Amino acid sequence: MLTVDLYIRVSTDEQADRGYSQRDQEERLRKYCEHNQMTIRHVIYEDHSAKTFERPEWKKLLLELRRRKGQIDFVLFTKWDRFSRNAGDAYHMINLLKKIGVEPQAIEQPLDMSVPENKLMLAFYLAAPEVENDRRALNVFNGMRRARKEGRWMGPAPIGYSNKSKENGDKYIALNEAEAVHLRWAFNELARGNSIPSRSGK
Question: Who contacts 144 (Cβ-Cβ below 8 Å, separation ≥6)?
Answer: 154
Percent of the chain past pLDDT 90, that is, above it, reads 38
Q: What is the pLDDT of residue 200?
A: 54
Q: What is the pLDDT of residue 79?
A: 93
Count of other CB atoms within 10 angstroms of residue 123: 13
Q: What is the pLDDT of residue 177?
A: 82
Q: What is the pLDDT of residue 18?
A: 52
pTM, entire model: 0.64
Domains of the chain: 3-133 (3.40.50.1390), 153-202 (no CATH)
Tell me which residues of the chain have a pLDDT lower than 70: 12-20, 129-131, 133-134, 137, 140-141, 143-144, 147-148, 150-154, 197-202
Q: How far apart are CA 26 and CA 149, in angstroms?
A: 46
* Sign of the CA dihedral running 117, 118, 121, 127: negative
Check residue 101 and give left, alpha or beta (phi > 0: left; psi -120 to 50: alpha).
left
